[in-house]
Structure 1
């Protein structure tokens, strides 16, 4: 990665539904080339490639060249930050649900 390019925030990277779908597709496979990813979207190859670039900038996707083709693979490690953030709110809502249940049972 070019040193002038800043690392993209994981939350920004996953904010777009197209990128979330790319993450899902890559999670179901070990590695996929662009030509196998593109048919899953109603956008062109260039647009899919731009979304993959954003995911790469957030370290969510790695890529390697195999001949003339670029193959993409999910790197789920940055999603741990999202999981940790959400787990706080999961605890918050579970506690609120327990309080409500107690109130309703009284």
Structure 2
């Protein structure tokens, strides 16, 4: 997984992965035609992706075609989803604690109708009539 995350840290390699995902097997030359880098640079990026287990190559006649290996992406995506779920659970607990504290504060706060909120000497109309 470290290799996958490292390989995907480069924007050009992410684009190569997207192109392979969209178009199936591709040659380095066809990929280079859609990228702002040379064919040699594409070959180097493909080597990094192959080392990470994200792509595989196969010879078809005189061409070498590269294809995406989704298993490595699936494993990495599952790990990311697990970490995200852990954070979601933590945030839910924090939200519940905050809501409980808010409700408790509202319940313990003096209101206008309570004697604690009435200024001394002003207990209501009966007091005013005297």
TM range, smaller chain? 0.7 to 0.9
- Give deviations 1:42-78, integer Å, cap 9, x for gaps: 1111001100011111221111112221111100111
Match for residue 76 of structure 1? Answer: 70
User: 4+ runs of 1 displaced by more than 4 Å?
Assistant: none
RMSD over equivalenced CA pairs, Å: 2.1
TM-score, normalised relative to structure 1: 0.78
Partner SS for 1:28: helix
Aligned to 1:41, the other structure's residue is in SS state coil
The residue aligned with 1:59 is 53
Matched residue pairs, number? 99
1:66-99: per-residue Cα shift (whole Å, max 9, x none)?
2221111100111233113212221123224434
Q: TM-score, normalised by structure 2?
A: 0.65
Larger radius of gyration: 2
For residue 34 of structure 2, the aligned residue among 37, 40, 49 is 40
